[in-house]
Amino acid sequence: MVILIPMLRNTAKKIRETMFDELGEQGEDILDKECNAIGKNLEDMDDSEISELMDRIQEDVRYFRGVDKAKEVKNSIKRYQLLEKLDDIGRERKSNIKLMKKYELSRDLGDVYVELGEMEKGEKYFYDMLEMAEKLEKDDMIVDSYDKIAKVHLQKGDIDKAEEEIKRGLDLAKKIDYEIGEARCVRRAGIASWRKGDFEESIGYLQTALEIFEESGDEDDVASVYKNLGDVYGEMEDYDESEEHYQKSVEHYEKEGADYERIVLFMNMGVINSLRKDWKKAAEYYKKSEKLAYEKEYPNTRAWSLFNLGESYVYMNRFDEAEEALQESMELLEEQNDPFGEAGAKTKYGQLMLEREKYEEAEKYLSESVDVLKELEVARYLADALHELGKAQMNLGKHDKAEEKMEESIKLYDSLDLLERKSSVEADLEKLTKHLK
């Protein structure tokens, strides 16, 4: 008989604190709502009920605040659960079962900390994972540990260390004929080569990994490697190959029912076509992304799809449609509490108003964007917004304000070493100065 143990009060307290710290009162409301739906107080829930609660919370946060925030909240909570379980295991008698539990918890904690951006802690737990695998003398688990350690080294930008771990894992995987482990290590080698800028070597590794994953029939891994290949070809500016591999990734993710991944890939294909200035085709992909995001209830991703769609319409001179898409994007991003996205949409909308010679409206939206970007301290995008705001104010005859904004923009571009953009603002400032004379 399985005995279900209620959650310890310390973990329950941490969950409540996390929901408030991450989401404020909205987090508390979500937690209370889902506890009521399950019909138990948080402190009285067993592991299976907590798992259900986490799934419910993740869906709520995903809807209101986007996929990334949902993952962050779930991982923050999962961390406390895993740490408490690890502490409990420490009091058990030594046995292979205890070692296996510590291996699994160390692996999961490493993954959580990497997802949260805490690389040093992630690395620590992956090395603990390796230690447990070595004590158990399980070669396949040792291979998986090397792969995890390589992953965190790549995340930290230490490619040499990553390649050392990849080689250890790959040599052992071949020795014991562990094909899936070999494929994972080869794929990791492909990502390392990509990070080094050796694109041809990266493609070779990734294609080898793809062949092994295809033989195993793992749709998720196949889809993921096709996406990696699309990314590499995109960086090589081979946009036809990039689009083709993204499309294959979409097909495999569709078999897995991975809706979010497909939405992102449609956006990626839109970006690919934007880069080659095929705005019509880009708009088609952004429409697919927006439609799927709407159907599957991903409002944050839908907002970004609309943003990109609006930008494409601007370049196609379809200004009414651009205005509609950007307005809807702004509204969604505001609802999602995404200030960076909202500021970006307002900058783009302000540019559209400039194009349509609606200077007062342009000034309004660009001023709002500048205020938010200053708070967020994102210099690159602030410089863009200041330049556009300066142009709007110049057309409104507010010459002193226009001059001030353009000078601010020039200083920021100079600090970022974006000389071409700096020159563009200087040219507009020179026109303004001549006009004043």
What is the C-alpha separation between 31 and 20, in angstroms, rounded?
9
Summarize the confidence of residues 94-119 as an average pLDDT. Answer: 93
Q: 3-state class of 46 per DSSP?
A: coil
Mean pLDDT estimate for the chain: 92
Q: What is the pTM of this model?
A: 0.84
Q: 306 pLDDT band (50/70/90 cuts)?
A: very high
The CA distances from residue 239 to 84, 193, 205, 281, 424, in Å, are 48, 20, 20, 13, 28
In degrees, rounded to 5, the angle at the alpha carbon of residue 120 between the alpha carbons of residues 119 and 123 is 85
pLDDT at 93 over 90: no
Q: Report pLDDT for 437.
A: 60
Cβ atoms of residues 321 and 279 within 8 Å: no
Summarize the confidence of residues 411-437 as an average pLDDT. Answer: 90
Among the ranges given (62-66, 214-218, 316-320), the one the predictor scored with the smallest mean pLDDT:
62-66
Pick the residue with more confidence: 247 or 27? 247
In degrees, rounded to 5, the angle at the alpha carbon of residue 385 between the alpha carbons of residues 394 and 369 is 110
Q: Report pLDDT for 1.
A: 34
Summarize the confidence of residues 136-153 as an average pLDDT. Answer: 97
What is 326-370 written as a DSSP string? HHHHHHHHHHTT-HHHHHHHHHHHHHHHHHTT-HHHHHHHHHHHH
Cβ atoms of residues 205 and 186 within 8 Å: yes
Of 370, 365, 337, 334, give the one whose Cα is nearest residue 351: 365
Summarize the confidence of residues 177-200 as an average pLDDT. Answer: 96
Domains and CATH numbers, the chain: 338-437 (1.25.40.10)
How many Cβ atoms are within 10 Å of 419's Cβ, its own excluded?
11
Q: 43 pLDDT band (50/70/90 cuts)?
A: confident
Q: 3-state class of 298 per DSSP?
A: coil
pLDDT at 157 over 90: yes
pLDDT at 369 over 50: yes
pLDDT at 156 over 90: yes
What is the C-alpha separation between 375 and 357, in angstroms, rounded?
28
Share in percent of the chain as helix, strand, coil (round to 5)? 85, 0, 15
Query: How do residues 341-365 score in pLDDT, each as one tens digit?
Result: 999 999 999 999 999 999 999 999 9
Query: How do residues 242-259 score in pLDDT, each as one tens digit?
Result: 999 999 999 999 999 999
Q: Report pLDDT for 81.
A: 81
pLDDT at 91 over 80: no
Cβ atoms of residues 7 and 46 within 8 Å: yes
pLDDT at 374 over 50: yes
Summarize the confidence of residues 407-418 as an average pLDDT. Answer: 95
Q: Report pLDDT for 2.
A: 37
Query: How do residues 63-76 score in pLDDT, each as one tens digit?
Result: 888 888 888 888 88
pLDDT at 158 over 50: yes
Q: Report pLDDT for 92.
A: 72
Q: Which two tokens stand for residue 421?
A: 């953009």
Number of H helices and E strands in the chain, helices first, is: 21, 0
Q: Report pLDDT for 4.
A: 40
Q: Which two tokens stand for residue 290?
A: 């927006």
